[in-house]
Amino acid sequence: MQSKKNIKLGKNNLIKFFCIILLLFFNTISFASEINVIEVKILDKVSSKTSQLKLSINEETKFENLIIKILKCKNSEFDDNPEVTAYMQVQDITLKNNDKVFVFNGWTFSSSPSISLFDHPVYDIWLIKCY
């Protein structure tokens, strides 16, 4: 009968083991933080219709008379009360006096959209989620 030997981890093996664990941990964090798509809901105040759009980061999207661009989006790290924040720029193309001026340029929050108010006579925009 062959006896089994206890395998003891030496210092080098233990260091290698922890390095592999750390690499796996940081790789999952980098993949999890990569956000490419943002979901917003837009209310047309005149017709009372809502539309839900999926926008890509750093790409301009035209919706009716608006050009919407999301520069950054972040999900909160807390699971009990999730918060989604995004940096959004909105232009109204019906304004002919200066098309470089944004109707809205700032951070918006999914849980409280009134903190940084998007004030437009026809449309309201709400941030839903980032993924």
For residue 103, what pLDDT band results from cuts at 50, 70 and 90? confident
pLDDT band (50, 70, 90) for residue 76: confident
**Domain range for 84:** 37-130
The answer as to whether 111 is a domain residue is yes
**What is the pLDDT, as a whole number, of residue 59?**
92
What is the residue-wise DSSP string for 95-127? --S-TTS-SEEEEEESS-TTSS----SSEEEEE
Instruction: Decide if 20 is inside a domain.
Output: no
Quick check: helix, strand or coil at residue 9?
coil
Domain count, the chain: 1
Sheet with 123-130: strands ordered across: 49-56, 37-44, 123-130
Whether residue 49 lies inside any domain: the answer is: yes
Report how far residue 100's alpha carbon sits from residue 45's, in angstroms, rounded to the nearest whole number.
24
Q: What is the mean pLDDT of the chain?
A: 77
Evaluate whether residue 54 is within a structural domain.
yes
pLDDT band at 6 (very low <50, low <70, confident <90, very high): low
Q: List pLDDT tens digits, range 30-51.
A: 444 567 899 999 999 999 999 9
DSSP assignments along 68-79, one per residue? EEEEEEEE-S-S
Full-prediction pTM beyond 0.75?
Answer: no
% residues pLDDT > 90 (the chain): 27
